[in-house]
Amino acid sequence: MDAQVAYGFHHLRNEKPYLAQGPIANKLIYSGYTCTQGWFFTPCTSQPSLRGLKNILRIHIKKINCSEWEQIRVPSSVRAIVALNLQNYASGRNPWGNLKPEYLEKRGFVEAHPDDGLLEIFGLKQGWHASFVMVELISAKHIAQAAAIRFEFRGGEWENAFMQMDGEPWRQPLSKDFSTFVEIKRVPFQSVMIHGD
């Protein structure tokens, strides 16, 4: 859902740049999109079979030093999935949170670090949950840590999925007849920008 809001805001800003001319105006417009997309006051859709991501999304992960894909469950309450390789999201927030060692051990997680080779995967349930996560009153819904992720989108009655990467949103067409895959994995090459080469 957050990618759908970002997509709507991005297109409005491109079509009518005079509306989005400062941080306050941008936040007001963004907030308006958030409310109209069903984050706060309406269900994702009136058809129960289309609510939630579990109906269209399968997540497969590879753990560190493992060559096999493992399917993980998408919680039924989650309406947005986020995969991070940093602790920061949405202007510097830490939705993964600072987790206690007991919780990490119980869930099979390790403490998140930018250079650990892992992606943190978490979910946001709806607008109120996301709001409390963004002000760091609570943590997001922890789903997994992985070295690689494969998202499989099954269209069915859904025609599009909204996605974003590094703040750039897009609408991904979905097919009723076949799955759409998005794979995120670490590549063995260091960033040229980091090395300065």
| CA–CA distance, 93 with 159 (Å, rounded to integer) | 31
In sequence order, what are the residues at sequence separation of 6 or more whose Cβ sits closer than 8 angstroms to the Cβ of residue 66?
Answer: 147
Q: pLDDT per residue over 128-164, tens digit each?
A: 777 787 777 888 888 999 999 999 988 777 788 888 8
Contact assessment for residue 71 and residue 60, using Cβ atoms and an 8 Å cutoff = yes
Q: pLDDT per residue over 84-115, tens digit each?
A: 887 777 767 777 778 888 988 898 888 888 88
pLDDT at 62: 93
Which pLDDT band, with edges at 50, 70 and 90, does 54 fall under?
Answer: confident
3-class secondary structure, 106: helix
| CA–CA distance, 161 with 170 (Å, rounded to integer) | 9
Contact assessment for residue 1 and residue 80, using Cβ atoms and an 8 Å cutoff = yes
Q: Is residue 36 over pLDDT 60?
A: yes
- 64-83: burial string, b at 16+ Cβ within 10 Å, e else: eeeeebeeeebbeebbbbbb
Contact assessment for residue 79 and residue 54, using Cβ atoms and an 8 Å cutoff = no
For residue 153, give both structure tokens.
């989108």
Lowest pLDDT segment from 14-23, 41-50, 70-79, 165-174: 41-50
Question: Any idea where the domains of the chain sit in the sequence?
Answer: 47-185
pLDDT at 84: 84
Supply the CATH classification number for the domain 47-185.
2.60.200
pLDDT at 60: 95
**Quick one: which of 109, 92, 93, 89 has its CA closest to 101?**
109
Q: Is residue 42 over pLDDT 60?
A: no
CA distances to 67, 127, 131, 158 from 39, rounded to whole Å, are: 37, 4, 10, 18
For residue 187, give both structure tokens.
């590549």
Q: How many CB atoms lie within 10 A of CB 163?
A: 18
